[in-house]
């Protein structure tokens, strides 16, 4: 299984919106960045991703699961970009803030820190474990 992180502005689409969605599942539409889309194309059914609130909140708040692999985003007129379907699995007991991640030496190489504008990125398994521990998750 691979691990990922997806970003959303909480004012636009928040974790609670995700949980209220039918089947707790939504199409992750609207990504208009080639690198982010390439990452979505690499997602496989059953992969896990952190759900991160950008801007105001700046913390990881939940875990989602990939339930449908990349397919064309109908909201994209150019036909270049894809989306996946994501389902809310569970909220983090203790959300992990960007500040905490930056303060953790082991996490300093994360794309979240290094490439702040990227909205869909891979997370390596050791970083996933570290963050889950920080979030007080089993």
Partner DNA sequence: GCCAACGTTGGC
Rounded to the nearest whole angstrom, what is the least distance from the CB of residue 98 to DNA in the complex?
Answer: 5
Does 41 engage in binding with DNA (CB under 7 A)? no
- Minimum separation from the CB atom of position 83 to DNA (A): 15
Q: Is 99 a residue that touches DNA (CB under 7 A)?
A: yes
Listed residue (130, 122, 131, 137) closest to 44, CA to CA: 122
Pairing of strands 82-97, 25-27: antiparallel
Per CB under 7 A, the list member of 116, 124, 125, 126 interacting with DNA is 116
Q: Note whether 17 and 24 are within 8 A (CB).
A: no
Q: What's the chain's Rg over C-alpha atoms? A: 14
Contact 136, 113 (CB under 8 A): no
Tokens of 108: 């300093």
Closer Cβ to DNA, 119 or 130, answer by number: 119
Q: Is 111 in the site for DNA (CB under 7 A)?
A: no
Footprint of DNA (CB under 7 A): 7, 9, 32-35, 54-55, 58, 98-99, 102, 115-119
């Amino acid at each position: 299984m691979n691990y990922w992180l997806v970003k959303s502005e909480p004012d636009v689409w928040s974790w609670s919106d995700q949980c209220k969605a039918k089947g707790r599942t939504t199409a992750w539409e609207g990504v208009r960045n080639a690198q982010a889309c390439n990452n979505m194309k690499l997602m496989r059914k059953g992969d896990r991703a952190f759900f991160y609130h950008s801007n105001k909140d700046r913390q990881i708040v939940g875990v989602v699961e990939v339930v449908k692999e990349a397919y064309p985003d109908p909201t994209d007129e150019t036909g270049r970009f894809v989306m996946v379907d994501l389902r809310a699995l569970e909220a983090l007991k203790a959300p992990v803030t960007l500040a905490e991640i930056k303060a953790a030496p082991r996490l300093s190489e994360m794309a979240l820190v290094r490439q702040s504008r990227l909205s869909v990125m891979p997370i390596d398994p050791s970083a996933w474990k570290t963050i889950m521990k920080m979030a007080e998750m089993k």
